[in-house]
């Protein structure tokens, strides 16, 4: 499948990056981590979102962003992370199409908020305990939101 768009964001963890890759039918989120210096980065998790779920995913991320707790200034902006307004509460959301499910929820850890995106695999993979999870924390949030806003312009008809 041919890539339409690709970008990388560096996460809160040293030598770890989140890659967002847009294809014609899906958007993939891949987390890579490099172990030793000079070693090739290894894939840690991969989650793919069918583009038919994109409008709901985008709206959900923006709405949940209203509940993100930003890090204190001056390191990061002291204002709200997201200016999108909606009536959604910070409850977990499940996006579903055919056999694919994507769970989005907010987690509070040590006074910071993290967006957790988890794919619910098909039944066979679920039995083996395979589920990919990506965490977007307050350090990565602003860059992640800007990236999905750029993607929204690319994906929009």
Of 45, 63, 27, 23, nearest to 145 by C-alpha is 63
Number of domains within the chain? 1
pLDDT at 126 over 60: no
Task: Provide the CA 39 distance to its chain's centre, in angstroms.
Answer: 25
Query: What angle in degrees, to the nearest 10, is found between the helix axes of 138-155 and 54-65?
Result: 150
> pLDDT digit string (tens) for 40-91?
888 989 999 999 999 999 999 988 887 776 665 444 443 444 555 566 667 8
pLDDT at 20 over 80: yes
> pLDDT digit string (tens) for 130-148?
678 998 888 888 889 899 9
Of 55, 60, 73, 47, nearest to 135 by C-alpha is 47
Of 68, 86, 92, 88, nearest to 78 by C-alpha is 68
Task: Provide the CA 116 distance to its chain's centre, in angstroms.
Answer: 7
pTM to 2 decimal places:
0.81
Q: Under DSSP, is residue 6 helix (H, G, I), strand (E, B) or coil?
A: strand
29 burial type by CB count under 10 A (0-12 exposed, 13-18 middle, 19+ buried): buried
> pLDDT digit string (tens) for 101-116?
899 999 887 777 889 9
- Give me the CATH number covering residue 71: 3.30.2450.30
Q: The tokens 């910070």 sit on which residue?
A: 90
What domain range includes position 27? Answer: 5-155
């Amino acid at each position: 499948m041919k890539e339409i768009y690709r970008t990388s964001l560096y996460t809160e963890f040293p030598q770890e990056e989140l890659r967002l890759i847009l294809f014609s039918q899906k958007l993939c989120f891949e987390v890579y981590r490099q172990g030793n210096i000079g070693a090739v980065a290894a894939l840690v998790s991969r989650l793919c979102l069918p583009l038919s779920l994109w409008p709901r995913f985008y709206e959900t991320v923006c709405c949940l962003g209203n509940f993100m707790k930003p890090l204190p200034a001056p390191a990061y902006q002291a204002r709200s992370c997201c200016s999108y307004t909606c009536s959604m509460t910070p409850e977990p959301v499940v996006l579903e199409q055919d056999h694919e499910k994507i769970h989005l929820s907010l987690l509070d850890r040590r006074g910071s908020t993290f967006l957790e995106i988890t794919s619910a695999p098909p039944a066979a993979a679920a039995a083996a305990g395979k589920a990919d999870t990506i965490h977007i924390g307050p350090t990565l949030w602003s860059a992640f939101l800007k990236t999905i806003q750029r993607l929204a312009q690319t994906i929009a008809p």
